[in-house]
Amino acid sequence: MQQRTKIALAVAVALQSMVSVAQAQEVLQRVEVTGSRIRQVDLETAQPVQVMTQEQIQKTGLVTVGDVINNMSSAGSPAFSKGGALTSNRENGGQYANLRNLGGQRLLVLVNGKRWSQSVAGFTDLSTIPSSMIERMEILKDGASSIYGSDAIAGVINIILKKSMEGGQLSLYTGRNESVADGRNKDFSLSYGAGNEKASLMFGLSHTEAGAVWSRDREFTSYSRTSEFPLENLGSGPWGRIRQVSASGGATGFDKVLNHTGDQQNPGLGQDSRNPANYHDVVAGSPVPADLYNTTQQMVFAMPSKLTTIFTKGEMALPYDMRLTTTAMYAQRKGVSTTAGYPLSTTSQSKYPVYIDKDSYYNPYGNQVAGAGKGQDLFFFRRTIEVPRVTENNNRTLHIDATLEGSFELRSLPWNWSTGYNYSKVDGNSVATGNLNLLNLKRALGPSFRNASGVVQCGTPTSPVPLADCVPWDILGGPTASNPQVLNYVMSTGGYEFGSTVESATADLSGELFQLPAGALGIAGGIEYRTVRGKDLPSQFQRSGYSTDLAGNPTTGRYTVREAYAELNIPILKNLPLVESLSANLATRYSDYSNFGSANNSKASFTYRPTKDLLFRGTWAEGFRAPTVGDTFGGGQQAFDTYLDPCDTVYGEAARTPAVLARCNSGFGGIIGTAAGFRQRGQTGTPITSSGGVQTAYPFNAGGGNAFLQPETATTRTLGTVFNPAFLPGFSASVDWYSIKIDNRITGVSANFILGECYTRGLADFCSSIKRDPATGSIIDLSRGNANLGQIKTEGVDVELRYRLPRFSWGQVNLRSETTYLDEYSTKSSATAQWIDFSGEYDLHRWKSNFTADWSLGSWSATWGVRYMSSVLDQCLNIPRGWQCNEPGTFRPGATSPGANRLSSLVFNDISVGYKFAWNGDVRVGVNNAFDKKPRFTVLGAASSTFVDADLPIDRFFYVRYNQAF
């Protein structure tokens, strides 16, 4: 009922602008181009802007804005992978662009020039924007904070929606992978518009589905380290593994696993778990694979999602050359991630350990088996594969804006003004199943006995617990000993509620001050008041820490922004020898934030045409990114990080670098020292077997907010040329150099980063958040949050070529290509640290290029697209054994010892053919990855389920789209 109310509200707001009809307004020939607030006729700007039309979007065979943007040569891997099933943030399941490899938080997304909704962490979900309503996308590859404010460091994506429609448009799409027939994608959209210059109204409805891809369905992806290494990184098994309890509450003494049939792929049947003779010893350091479990069998490789969007837009002409425009949109997205059953152990939550009680009926070493007074509590391990972990993210987006604009003349010079209100809200909830209620688990593993009716009951014969209040669990018996009653009792349902709201009021004025010899002096200025508030609230039980789910603290916060900007466009020279035109643009913006203070950002740019065919352009711009609500007010939550301990004496840096080994052994930075021959152990308690590291057995604390954060600041420089030769009609070329440097970087640091800074680089300031077990040396706690930490700088070149060939009898051909060369991508972790250049390492390709050839003849058309990515260095899977390590003598960026795996370059071919019918319909049939390029092994870009990149094609993909106008 609540969702219907929101949809009705979205429709009503647009309809309100259609109450009356006024006189027609003269169409302005001057337009506002992304990157400037001054309307102008010349669309060749000082900033490099890439334009993508609705037709080009459809020819990609992709159905969402996020997928289209992430295929650009200037975009890096998406901020959150489709294969990130273990990712626990609220953004999971959405689509987030990553321009210049600088992250989704450093990119500003606009819709019709207005800020779009953001999450608490500052990410904009591009999947919520209905692609069917898009007229074009303008991608500004330049800093623009002086024009638009915070976040516009890597660039700006401005999505221009259709201004009006006459009639309707129906679009149907379906596609799937070839070999397994999975990854089924569907898209349905219906749009309709009517009106004239006085008033118009558009309506759109769309529904998009992305189907799941399961790791188990392909041989190569059905193992954690791919089919090349089927026995690597197996997880804890589903059969009861037991140890004795030490005086400090840890595991000690014997180490046994229940006898059973089956193996790590297909668990069989277990023997009687109450009989101590039915257990076999675990050999230290070399467990039997059949006692473990291939967790990939239960994990999704690429997550499924569903999105439904309703959109309206209305325009109405008013007296005195005024126009009222309103848009409203409501979108609902559902994403589902599935991972293997929980790797349960006594210390899954170290602050609330749960043992198998010595008085449990199912304890093979308990009082009811060994004899009264001879029993002992047991430390246990057991993966609950009966109930895989499933997290469902439900995300709702509501956007409403209204703009009143007009025009007038001052001294016969044109001026434009506008005032507007912009409201964007993201809210939703996540529901997680497959975790355990530790309070109930403790009762289920506590004292129990067989009653007179032969039923095992909680409690003792003298103090029984009613059967309705507790269900005993034979946890050591494995999956075959479980039943729905006990699983319902011990399992828990957790979740979060989250939301973020951005409200802004704006007033803008632009026009021409006076005429100079070279043209009009253009000016623009405006003010904005913006309020940002957000929340991320775990359920009360989840906050308590009595669940195996990731415990978290609530996040709530709010801040306000007052801003003012001014822009000046100065024509300097025109129509002179070797100076067809020369102009400069200056802009500045003042921002006052309630949570950290003020910021000033300015920009200067120029355009110079020596001839009509040639343009030179350049910019220098200051940028900034304000801390988000999550950055500043984040409560933090537990995280089971995957990491490689530098102190591991076989695969860690200590094995190769004496200085690191010395820090580990001596207790550098106040941390307890590790013993000689120290080995990192995973959740199974066995030493690691590769350089890929393992997931921690102890929850770390991640994502805590920092009230003292300051904004990031950036300096962007670009210099380029555009060539449109008159002697070659239809041809254009542009080459643009860019350089971006970010200071005061806000970053949520990883466990590997903290450990590397402490041990590998010897920076003692990073060691205080690390805690090791005094007995074993294992890392049992690590805190990582947000900090203003170091710098980033990147430099490269964009090249764009277009050529529309003369029309021949055999058809019309359009060629276009976009290429990005990455010369540098360096980071500096602190003021005293050295710059480290990661360009050429996964996923920072030196070269990325897209080439497209379009052909048309009459009703027929065809498109051939080629995507190229140059080779990159990846982390070796196992340096000592030479596994996936083809350059053992090569140093990866930042490494102090050699060892790298070079991944070869990639080429993907996409082909489609279209036909237009006489009844205003058209059909397009296509295949992406036409030559069936196989997926590749990667450590640094791995999906959660297996060491394969889920954001690259895994299969040949066929699709068909039908459009019908009416």
CA distance 640 to 852: 43
Q: Of 553 and 666, which is predicted with more confidence?
A: 666
Of 769 and 448, which is predicted with more confidence? 448
pLDDT at 2 over 70: no
pLDDT in tens, 586-625: 999 999 999 888 999 999 999 999 999 999 999 999 999 9
**Residue 147 in contact with residue 155, Cβ under 8 Å?**
no
> What are residue 59's phi and psi, to 5 degrees?
-75, -15
Alpha-carbon torsion (273, 278, 282, 287), positive or negative: negative
Name the residue with tokens 């984040």: 634
* pLDDT tens per residue across span 84-128: 888 777 787 788 899 999 998 999 999 888 888 888 888 998 888
Name the pLDDT band for 253 (thresholds 50, 70, 90).
Answer: very high
For the segment 44-54, what is each residue's pLDDT rounded down to a tens digit?
677 788 888 88
pLDDT at 43: 55
The CA distance from 687 to 680, in Å, is 6
Phi, psi angles (nearest 5°) of residue 390: -130, 130
- Let me know: does 739 contact 717? Beta carbons within 8 Å: yes
pLDDT tens figures, 764-783: 878 988 999 888 899 988 88
DSSP 758: I
User: How many residues make up the chain in this entry?
Assistant: 966
Which pLDDT does position 904 carry in this prediction?
A: 96
How open is the CA angle 29-31-32, to the nearest 5 degrees?
Answer: 170
Find out whether 724 and 665 touch, Cβ atoms under 8 Å. no
The reported pLDDT for the residue numbered 695 is: 82
184 pLDDT exceeds 90?
A: yes
Residue 1 has pLDDT above 60, yes or no: no
Rounded to an integer, the average pLDDT of 334-339 is 94
In the three-class reduction of DSSP (H, G, I as helix; E, B as strand; rest coil), residue 804 is classed as strand
Residue 663 CA from chain centroid, whole number: 35
Q: How large is the average pLDDT for residues 534-544?
A: 87
pLDDT in tens, 681-723: 887 778 888 887 888 878 787 777 777 788 999 999 999 999 9
Pairing type for strands 107-111 and 155-161 reads parallel
Q: What is the pLDDT of residues 205-217, one digit of tens each?
A: 999 999 999 999 9
User: Of the candidates 535, 722, 645, 448, which has an alpha carbon nearest to the alpha carbon of residue 120?
Assistant: 535
Average pLDDT of 382-394?
Answer: 95
**Cis upstream peptide for 854 (omega within 30°):** no
- Averaged pLDDT of the chain: 90
Is the model's pLDDT at 923 over the cut of 50? yes
Q: What is the largest CA-CA distance in the chain?
A: 108
Residue 298: the pLDDT is 96
Give the model's pLDDT for residue 44: 64
DSSP per-residue string spanning 461-482: TTEEPPTTT-----GGG-GGG-
**For residue 20, is pLDDT > 50?**
no
Does position 300 have pLDDT exceeding 90, yes or no?
yes
pLDDT digit string (tens) for 870-882? 999 999 999 989 9
Residue 364 scores a pLDDT above 90: yes
DSSP at 866: E
The per-residue pLDDT for 31 is 62
Provide long-range contacts, Cβ within 8 A and 24+ apart, for 504-507.
Answer: 504/115, 504/421, 504/422, 504/528, 504/529, 504/530, 504/531, 505/419, 505/420, 505/421, 505/422, 505/529, 506/418, 506/419, 506/420, 506/421, 506/422, 507/417, 507/418, 507/419, 507/420
Residue 734 has a pLDDT of 95
Res 916 pLDDT > 60: yes
Give the pair of three-digit tokens for residue 965.
């106008």
Which of 608, 626, 628 shows the shortest CA–CA distance to 617?
A: 608
Please check the confidence at residue 41 and state whether its pLDDT lies above 70.
no
Assess contact for 338 and 298: CB atoms under 8 A: yes
Amino acid at 966: F
Over residues 768-824, the pLDDT tens digits come to 889 998 888 999 888 887 878 889 999 999 999 999 999 999 999 999 999 999 999
